[in-house]
Amino acid sequence: MSKKKKFPRESFVSMTELVLPNDTNTLNNLMGGRLMHWMDIVSAISAQKHSNRIVVTASVDNISFKHPIQLGNVVTLKAKVTRAFNSSMEVRIDVEAEDVPSSKRTESNSAYFTFVAVDQSGRPIDVPEIEPETEEEKSLYDGALRRRQLRLILANRMNPQDAKELKSIFDIKETQN
Ligand SMILES: CC(C)(COP(=O)(O)OP(=O)(O)OC[C@H]1O[C@@H](n2cnc3c(N)ncnc32)[C@H](O)[C@@H]1OP(=O)(O)O)[C@@H](O)C(=O)NCCC(=O)NCCS
């Protein structure tokens, strides 16, 4: 039986936060840990919307902080599932900060989180497939396979020799045995 398909837009979530004093470091900038907490929440909701299941965070790809986000800024986090595999889903999160008095908006960072849908006992359970619609969604969908292979290798869950998509990028030569 073929799996149910859903569109990325069905998992779209936008979350807005105001940076308050308790969210900041001694330089009055948003703490990275607080931002990652918000990113975890917005992407978990997105994965839940796609799967209609309980989800757990399986992994977080590298996150770089390009610009500091200041006290009083309004932070908008947007999340959408890029691709679903068996029980796991990759979610992309884009973060933007706005200084409302000047209307100045800054793209802060983006990241990929992986969630696994689980049943009531915490066992992984299959999720619907993703059917990308826009050119951007198709590009993110294609790249998701390579990113999955890289994170599974780093988690020691995949043999690099089996990562066909990654090999095609890095042109890793087959070892002669
Ligand atoms: C994530 C978890 C459910 C996976 O359970 P498991 O018994 O290892 O299950 P499996 O080996 O069958 O893997 C299930 C899926 O998780 C994916 N997965 C497991 N570890 C992963 C990792 N580090 N990165 C990306 N995906 C991962 C697998 O690729 C698989 O995906 P697929 O079904 O789409 O092919 C389990 O490790 C877990 O519960 N971890 C704790 C989650 C948690 O508490 N998060 C919050 C941290 S405070």
Ligand 1: does its nearest atom lie under 6 Å from the Cβ of 114? yes
Helical segments of 27-134, H only: 32-51
Of 168, 52, 58, the residue nearest 112 (C-alpha) = 58
Which residue's entry shows tokens 């198709």?
138
Its pTM surpasses 0.85: yes
Q: Please report, as a single letter, which amino acid is at residue 74.
A: V
In order along its 177 residues, the chain shows pLDDT tens digits of 678 999 999 999 999 999 999 999 999 999 999 999 999 999 999 999 999 999 999 999 999 888 999 999 999 999 999 999 999 999 999 999 999 999 999 999 999 999 999 999 999 999 999 999 999 999 999 999 999 999 999 999 999 888 888 877 776 555 544
Residue identifier of the C-alpha nearest atom 6 of ligand 1: 124
Q: Which domains does the chain have, with CATH numbers?
A: 5-131 (3.10.129.10)
3-state SS string over 163-175? CHHHHHHHCCCCC
Tell me 52's DSSP state.
S
Q: Token digits for 162? A: 């089996």
**C-alpha 20 – ligand 1 centre gap (Å):** 34
**C-alpha 25 – ligand 1 centre gap (Å):** 33
Atom of ligand 1 nearest to the CA of 87: 33
